[in-house]
Amino acid sequence: MKVEIITIGDEILSGDIVNTNVVFLSEALWLQGLIVDYQSAVRDDPNTIRQALLLAARRADVVIVTGGLGPTGDDFTIEIAAKTFHKKLVQNKSKQALIPSGAKVYLNPVGTAPGIGLKFKGVSFYFLPGVPKEMKALFGKNILPEILAKKKGKKIFKSKLFRCFGMAEAELDHALSSFYHDKTEIGNVRVGFRAHFPETLIKLSSWGKTEKEAHKFLEEGISFLKEKVGKAIYGEGEESLESVLGFLLSSQKKTLSVAESCTGGLIASRITNISGSSSYFKGGVVAYDNQIKKDFLGVKNETLQTYGAVSSECACEMALGMQKKAETDFALAVTGIAGPTGGTVDKPVGTVFIALATPDDVVCYDYCFKLNREWFKVLVASLAINHLRLNLLSQ
């Protein structure tokens, strides 16, 4: 079964945006053991779209088309598809849209433009909106199950995604190198890396004639992976550092507060992205100005004058002050210089102190990173969350 993905939109061809839809679709299919054969992107031009549809009809069995279904003037994919495949457009009353006759309509759970399914010369075409959240919702719920039902001569496919923090891709790759037969295959398991700053994702995939065989191959790969780089793996699948932290805090019935200077609220924001976080996260202070550090966290004037705001002494006082005022079991505090301005010879841009107040004591970690402002914040927030995660794991 040959699969093609066609993306429509000048914004892709002009390099204005990264085609994340094609990455999502390709990966979703791959996770089900289907590798996409062709990815094409074409402009918002009726004749070009027509040619792309006809080409796909000749070379593929399943074609997924995204983009050009929105409400604006440059969205006319369905109209062109109907003309290309000699279908009439008929008013679909329930969807308030023009739909090619004989087409299947998939209700969009998160937007207005429906998905459309069309058959042409035995080839299944699926038209989806280009807005990622709408495309994903429609694809996962309706389209993927239909495509899988068409799959013949099935090999059983298994895969698992691991999330690593604290080891770079090159280090992970090196640690696993004895495992490789050729560049990416390890026996019956395929290893894929993906950088997702500041994390690295490792995907193991296996194929087998039977469920049992595929499972066995995958488990062998997982054992090797955990033996070699287990300490860098913090989670699996859709987990995040903050969701794992949330699970640990919940299950240990502990509470947390945060005091942030250079991360400016990012740690609190990530922690509160997790549904249910109100049960363990009480809140925090974004202490950008020194006056806030003093008034809200009780940092001593003397500390600021002697050691400066970017110091382990200040970080520890911020963490202890936060912990005490919010009455939480743990408190994280960060203070640093995100840059690009504000650095000195002693404390260059990128200097950061992360303090963790626990029920027993307070510890401080210091780092220096040369990164742009936003990446610096992301990395520091991840490090802070990870320090607390490791502390909770050691309990």
Q: Determine which residue in the list 109, 140, 145, 276 makes contact with its own copies, applying CB under 8 A.
A: 276
Helix axes 290-297, 312-326, angle to 10 degrees: 40
Q: Determine which residue in the list 123, 125, 229, 260 makes contact with its own copies, applying CB under 8 A.
A: 260
Nearer to its own copies, 148 or 170 (CB): 170
Of 12, 368, 378, nearest to 199 by C-alpha is 378
Distances (CA, A) of 392 to 227, 358, 386: 22, 10, 10
Is residue 308 within the footprint of its own copies (CB under 8 A)?
Answer: no
Q: How many residues does the chain have?
A: 395
Q: Which of residues 179-198 bind its own copies (CB under 8 A)?
A: 180, 183-184, 191-195, 197
Nearer to its own copies, 102 or 132 (CB): 132
Is residue 327 within the footprint of its own copies (CB under 8 A)?
Answer: yes
Dist. CA 177–CA 185, nearest whole Å: 10
Q: Determine which residue in the list 76, 157, 207, 307 makes contact with its own copies, applying CB under 8 A.
A: 76
Cβ within 8 Å of residue 248, ≥6 positions away? 389, 392, 393
Q: Which of residues 138-167 bind its own copies (CB under 8 A)?
A: none
Dist. CA 225–CA 314, nearest whole Å: 40
Contact of 81 with 40, CB cutoff 8 Å: no
Nearer to its own copies, 253 or 361 (CB): 253
Dist. CA 162–CA 165, nearest whole Å: 10
Nearer to its own copies, 104 or 254 (CB): 254
Q: Which of residues 333-372 bind its own copies (CB under 8 A)?
A: 338-342
Q: Which of residues 25-64 bind its own copies (CB under 8 A)?
A: 25-30, 35-44, 48, 51, 55, 59
Mask of contacts with its own copies, 198-237, x by CB under 8 A?
-----x----------------------------------
Is residue 82 within the footprint of its own copies (CB under 8 A)?
Answer: no
Nearer to its own copies, 270 or 389 (CB): 270
Contact of 184 with 204, CB cutoff 8 Å: no
Q: How many residues bind to its own copies according to rule CB under 8 A?
A: 100
Q: Which of residues 120-139 bind its own copies (CB under 8 A)?
A: 131, 133
264 three-class SS: coil
Q: Determine which residue in the list 139, 281, 330, 353 makes contact with its own copies, applying CB under 8 A.
A: 281
Joined together, the tokens standing for residue 185 give: 């295959």
Of 216, 278, 208, 272, nearest to 250 by C-alpha is 278
